[in-house]
Amino acid sequence: MKLVILGSGGAIPTPRPFCQCKICVKARKIGEPFKRNSSSLFIADAKTVIDCGEDIGDSLNRRNIKQVDNLFITHWHPDHTFGLRHFLEANYIFSENKVKKAVQMYIPKRVFSDLIQKFPTIEYYLKIQKTAVLHLIEDGDKIKINNIVIGVVGYQGKKSEKYAYLIEEKNKKVLYASCDTMGFKNYKNHNNLDLLINECGLFSKFDHEISFVSLMQRLKEIKPKRIILTHIEEEETHKHGEKHFEKMKKRYLDIPFDYAYDGLIIKI
């Protein structure tokens, strides 16, 4: 199984527009691994992408990905869905007014209900351009694509607003839970993971976001063999500094985690 981190950033990309802090200046000057686009994942063996933020076009181009057949969405937030226009219209031939290829788009029922209110243009792509074929899914469903099975994991069951995806091939298991995992009530059901790709958690205190300390405790409970932390917020890096991230690695030496970066290739 080959996975590629297309984007490892948070709600705001790094560099943040207009910002002249040393974090953003460094990201502009050097680029990767300091530049971070919105969080998304490419499953190479299934030609599948999970989530498409506003900068998905840049993320795909930087990796020179030539074909994507399937798109999965975790939740409606802009940094996970508002790149739909770039993603879907890439397969539309405007001069001939026809679709070169329709993407198979998998969205949990509750998430689609939220998305169509926040991003009503999605109906245009589905019904007029027909650049996507919609598959409504829910917690517990399993979709087989080639040799890959993608399981749908609602943070709170079938009525969840946010979702993770369990990616399986033969006896290998990878859980992708990139955002808003504070409400992930069923995380204890997912042990024996070969890899967990999870949001980083915040060093700062916010009532509605999981803290880094709480995340570490959770990781001690489910004990994945390997952990990649993604959805790394520009504001957190700016506030706490890059050295703080390394300091946390030394503090939690008993937890096998690394930080994601754009372009990270993972082979399981």
pLDDT in tens, 249-260: 999 999 999 999
Q: Does the model's pTM come out above 0.95?
A: yes
Kindly indicate the confidence band of residue 81, based on its pLDDT and cuts at 50, 70 and 90.
Answer: very high
Tokens found for residue 13? 């990309």
- Report the alpha-carbon distance of residue 67 to residue 80 in Å, rounded: 19
Residues 207-216 pLDDT 10s: 889 999 999 9
Q: In what order do the strands lie in the sheet with 40-43?
A: 132-137, 103-108, 70-72, 48-50, 40-43, 2-7, 265-267
Asked if the model's pLDDT at residue 133 lies above 90, the reply is: yes
Mean predicted confidence (pLDDT) in 125-139? 97
- Distances in Å between the alpha carbon of 150 and those of 45, 48, 142, 242, 267? 12, 10, 6, 34, 17
3-state secondary structure of 69: coil
For tokens 């993608």, the residue is 150
At 157-209, the pLDDT tens digits run 998 999 999 999 999 999 999 999 999 999 999 989 999 999 999 999 888 89
Pick the closest to residue 153 from 204, 118, 210, 111 (CA basis).
111
How many angstroms separate the CA atoms of 244 and 56, rounded?
Answer: 28
Separation of alpha carbons 43 and 80, rounded Å: 16
Question: Which of the four CATH numbers 3.20.20.70, 3.60.15.10, 3.40.50.280, 3.40.640.10 does domain 2-267 have?
Answer: 3.60.15.10
pLDDT given for residue 207 in this prediction: 87
Nearest partner of 24 among 5, 39, 9, judged by Cα = 9
**Percentage of the chain modeled with pLDDT above 90:** 97
Q: Quote the pLDDT of residue 194.
A: 98
